[in-house]
Structure 1
Amino acid sequence: MTSEIHGATPPDERLSGRRRIWGALLLGVSLGGFFDGILLHQILQWHHLLSGLEGTGPLGDLRFQVMADGLFHAVHYVLAVLGMVLIFGHPRHAGAGRGRTIAGWAAIGFGGWHCFDALFSHWLLGIHRIRMDSPNPLVWDMIWFVLFGLLPLGLGLWMLRGEDGGDHQGRGRRTALSLAILAMTAAPVAALPAGDMLPKDHVLVVFRPGMDFAQIVAAVDAVEGRMIWTDVGQGVWLISVSPGQGPGTLYRHGAMLVTGTGPAVGCLDWMRPAA
């Protein structure tokens, strides 16, 4: 007598169900990482991933901070792709399943990421806090922990207890597809360097370690630019670029990050020894 006669779920469907759960969970985790990176690292600029290490030698160098943020986003990009493979990769059950189940596990992944980040990154290791400039960083940590950690976790658990109505597979596919589109929209946004709201002819530039002032001046001259501002450590420069000159030219003159030039692949130059 077959398992279908007894009402049991066939083994291949049980495996497909587990794949969907893990896929939704990973999509939720990746969305949590993109949410943090886009909002806190880029828009609000409250911290870098390793802001707690500032002033501790090479690990506190702004160039390393930028590279760490980029690697953080890259890891979550991989998690998003893996989640979509798990959900849509099965030829027979691609994207099928209960919509509330997929959404619920995604919410658990989103909230679980923020709980993990608070416990591990904020309080155990101290590599960053939500607001590094706050006199009471624990207050901001707790607000973030509750709003984006505990509440999504609770919402996800509540959704797993509910029942879908109507076409389960149709709802599941639409829910999974919506999560995938959201993740793939967030991923390239997270890859954009901060500072895109500057005036059109202004760019923020981070030059390769080891460049002296004369080399930086030569790089600015290459785009017929003008130095406007630099930070105390002369790691970040605000430069006005002349009309008709492409700021991407700065990459050929020692820049590893130039805002407004697309995904910040130049940040990988940090890993190359200075000339």
Structure 2
Amino acid sequence: MTEPNSPTDDSTEARRLAWAGLLLGIGLGGFFDGILLHQILQWHHLLSGVQSGLVQDIRVQILADGVFHALMYVIAAGGLYLLWRARRGVAARGADRRLIAFALIGFGTWHVLDAFLSHWILGIHRIRMDVDNKLAWDLGWFAVFGVAVILAGWLTLRRGGGSGGMPRAVAPGTLGLAVLIAGPVAALPPPGVTTVMVLFRPGMSESAMMSAMAAVDGRMAWRDPSGQLWAIDVGPDGDAGPLYRHGALLVGNGLLPVACLNWSRI
């Protein structure tokens, strides 16, 4: 059995801390893209480069963004779990620097992989879809947020040493807090989107669902073949909250996985 604080134990904690940093960095890289490029700047959606009438429907685009954010949730949750498992190793000399270094490497790695896979191999989107020279924007983003950040992480790792006066709980606490804040923010709908996804109770009649929609002065934008999941446009000043009083199980726009719950037939 491995004794606590033995070299093998220390090595295991160090590996967990490194993988925690990588996964948290990748998750934050995805959230950064989703918040900045999909929502604030609205330069692209995940599938903006796919030339298909169905895919170009804004509802499909937002759904794809939601699936992307769900994947980032899974990756970030894995990083938080490993960080918790490696909590004893955080007190080791240089552990905070190592965690930050691998988080930077993970952040940059996400942008490198995104550039090669999404931009140049699959072509499902580019950094900016509304410019003539798309490659220049791709290369600039690749260099600044990919290569440069990986290099910063590598240099931080090479420096080694202690924390430089920074409390050792700051690095893991800051990364964990960043993920917990970025996840919900990334799941918010883009500005101007007034359509909410509504999952009605099983067995509700169509007339009851229509009455629920009328109660919020909404307009049906779409519904799935089962008839239980609706997309309702409530308008820019609408309030979807009253739908809960009229038979809705869940109402969301990206923060709640209403579509997944419907597909699972809960």
Which consecutive unaligned segments of at least 5 residues does structure 1 have? 1-8, 209-215, 228-234
Would you say 1:71 and 2:67 are equivalent positions?
yes
Which consecutive unaligned segments of at least 5 residues does structure 2 have? 1-5, 199-208, 221-230
> In the alignment, is the contact (CA less than 8 A) between 2:24 and 2:175 conserved in 1?
yes
Aligned letter for 2:257? Answer: V
Distance 1:41 1:142 in 2: 18
TM-score normalised over the length of structure 2: 0.75
Aligned letter for 1:105? Answer: F
Please list, as runs of the form range in 1=range in 2, the aligned pairs for 1:114-263 lying within 5 A after superposition.
114-165=111-162, 171-195=167-191, 204-205=194-195, 221-224=214-217, 239-241=235-237, 246-249=239-242, 263=255
Q: 1:265 aligns with which of 244, 250, 257?
A: 257
Shift of 1:206: 5.7
Number of residue equivalences: 241
Distance 2:257 2:164 in 1: 44
Distance 2:243 2:134 in 1: 37
Shift of 1:35: 0.2
Equivalent residue for 2:20?
A: 23
Shift of 1:46: 1.2
> In the alignment, is the contact (CA less than 8 A) between 2:194 and 2:236 conserved in 1?
no
Query: Which deviations, in whole Å up to 9, do the C-alpha atoms of 1:100-144 show, x marking residues without a partner?
Result: 211111100000100000011000000111111111111111111
> In the alignment, is the contact (CA less than 8 A) between 1:248 and 1:258 conserved in 2?
no
Distance change >3 Å, CA 186–CA 118, structure 1 → 2? same
Identity %: 43
Distance change >3 Å, CA 60–CA 270, structure 1 → 2? farther
TM-score normalised over the length of structure 1: 0.73
Query: Which deviations, in whole Å up to 9, do the C-alpha atoms of 1:11-57 show, x marking residues without a partner?
Result: 11111111110111111101100000011111111111111124254
Distance 1:39 1:63 in 2: 19
Shift of 1:221: 3.6
Shift of 1:148: 0.5
Distance 1:130 1:268 in 2: 28
Distance 1:241 1:225 in 2: 11
What RMSD, in angstroms, separates the aligned Cα atoms of the two structures? 3.6
Distance 2:237 2:133 in 1: 40
Distance 1:103 1:124 in 2: 30
> In the alignment, is the contact (CA less than 8 A) between 2:213 and 2:219 conserved in 1?
yes
Distance change >3 Å, CA 96–CA 116, structure 1 → 2? same
Q: 1:80 aligns with which of 66, 72, 76?
A: 76
Aligned letter for 2:159? Answer: G
Helix, strand or coil at the partner of 1:164: coil
Distance 1:119 1:263 in 2: 29
Shift of 1:257: 7.6
Distance 1:97 1:75 in 2: 33
Aligned letter for 2:195? Answer: V
Helix, strand or coil at the partner of 2:128: coil
Deviates more, 1:141-150 or 1:61-70: 61-70
Shift of 1:270: 8.2
Would you say 1:52 and 2:42 are equivalent positions?
no
> In the alignment, is the contact (CA less than 8 A) between 2:17 and 2:89 conserved in 1?
no
Helix, strand or coil at the partner of 1:119: helix
> In the alignment, is the contact (CA less than 8 A) between 2:38 and 2:45 conserved in 1?
yes
